[in-house]
Amino acid sequence: MNKKEDYQEIYINLDDSGKLTKKEKVTVYAGLVFLSKKEKDKFITQYRKIINEIKCHYCKVEKCNKKCTEIKNTNIKPKHKRRIMNYIKSYFSIALIIDNNKVYDYIINNKASKGRYIDYTIRRLIKSVVQELIKNKKIDSHKNVRLIINIDEQSTKSNGYYNLKDGLIEELLHGISNFNYDTFYNKVLYGKLEIVLSYQDSGKSYLVQAADLIAGTTRRKVKDNIENKNNISNNLDFIDYKIIFP
């Protein structure tokens, strides 16, 4: 009987705020990273407790019917948002920031090109996060890795995803060539790689709800930076790791 192989687990949970269009200044994908099921479940337990303590403030019916309003970045009260964000700060948060005004028109104006571009930027975010974890000795690049990625299903309806899973396998496990610049990027992982990719209903996922708050908060601060002509990454100390495109 073969011994069950051990895998290092990385849970990445993302939601978006803003759309890739010239009508909006910035698009953000952001969320949380956990390095074990135990850490993830601990986060959910406490996050659920906070939500249960504040959710009645958002109920619009006189008699409770147990159908609670989902608490989102767009409807949460400032004092409740501060409480949740203070809790979230205890965990590893990440963000991908796209300055829409700097993205080529031919990408934004073509649905397929836009979808491929978003796929590319998310792959770059996830690859960079894995490299950061390796650099900080949180994971071992020569041991097996199981990458569990959860993304809000609503974002797929407007932006779409084309080949996110296969693209990540190629970049992380095999390396990739950039033919435009005659460059080859070495692979990042040297053991086995499993990728579990799922699109979740935010109403049923506390992880996606938390990612929604992080993404919305990040986008608001970035918009303020752009409008005030400050550095785009000002006042983002609550984000542990971020990348900016283009």
Average pLDDT for 30-37: 97
Residue 202 pLDDT class (50, 70, 90 cuts): confident
pLDDT value, residue 62: 65
At a CB cut-off of 8 Å and minimum separation 6, what does 213 contact? 72, 73, 76, 81, 84, 85, 88
The confidence band for 128, taking pLDDT boundaries of 50, 70 and 90, is: very high
What percent of the chain is helix, strand and coil (3-state, nearest 5)? 45, 20, 35
- Looking at residue 231, the DSSP 8-state letter turns out to be -
Q: Is 12 helix (H, G, I), strand (E, B) or coil?
A: strand
Question: Binning pLDDT at 50, 70 and 90, where does residue 142 land?
Answer: very high
Share of the chain above pLDDT 70, in %: 89
Domain annotation covers residue 131: yes
Alpha-carbon distance 63 to 198, whole Å? 35
Residue 164, φ and ψ in degrees, nearest 5: -60, -50
d(CA 221, CA 232): 9
In a domain, 69, yes or no: yes
Query: Considering its fold, how many domains does the chain have in total?
Result: 1
Write the DSSP assignment of 104-155 as a string of letters: -HHHHT-HHHHHHHHHHHHHHHHHHHHHHHHHTTSS-TTS-EEEEEEEETHH
Secondary structure element (H or E) that encloses residue 50, with its range: helix 37-54
Q: Are the C-beta atoms of residues 91 and 31 closer than 8 Å to each other? A: no
Specify the pTM.
0.91
CATH number at residue 45: 3.30.420
The answer to whether position 2 is within a domain reads no
Strand partners of residue 178: 183
Q: Are 171 and 123 in contact (CB under 8 A)?
A: yes
Name residue 150's amino acid.
N
pLDDT of residue 203: 78
Domain encompassing residue 126: 8-245
- 200, 125, 132, 123: which is closest to 169 by C-alpha? 123
Q: CA 189, CA 133: separation in Å to the nearest integer?
A: 12
Band (pLDDT 50/70/90 cuts) for residue 1 is very low
pLDDT over threshold 90, residue 178: no
Residue 3 within a domain: no
Determine the average pLDDT of the residues in 122-133: 96
User: Which residues, in sequence order, are bridge partners of residue 94?
Assistant: 31, 241
Question: Per the domain annotation, does 179 fall within a domain?
Answer: yes
At residue 177 the predicted structure's pLDDT band, cuts being 50, 70 and 90, is low
Contacts of 184 (CB under 8 A, 6+ apart): 175, 176, 177, 178
Residues pairing with 120 in the sheet = none
How large is the average pLDDT for residues 25-36? Answer: 97
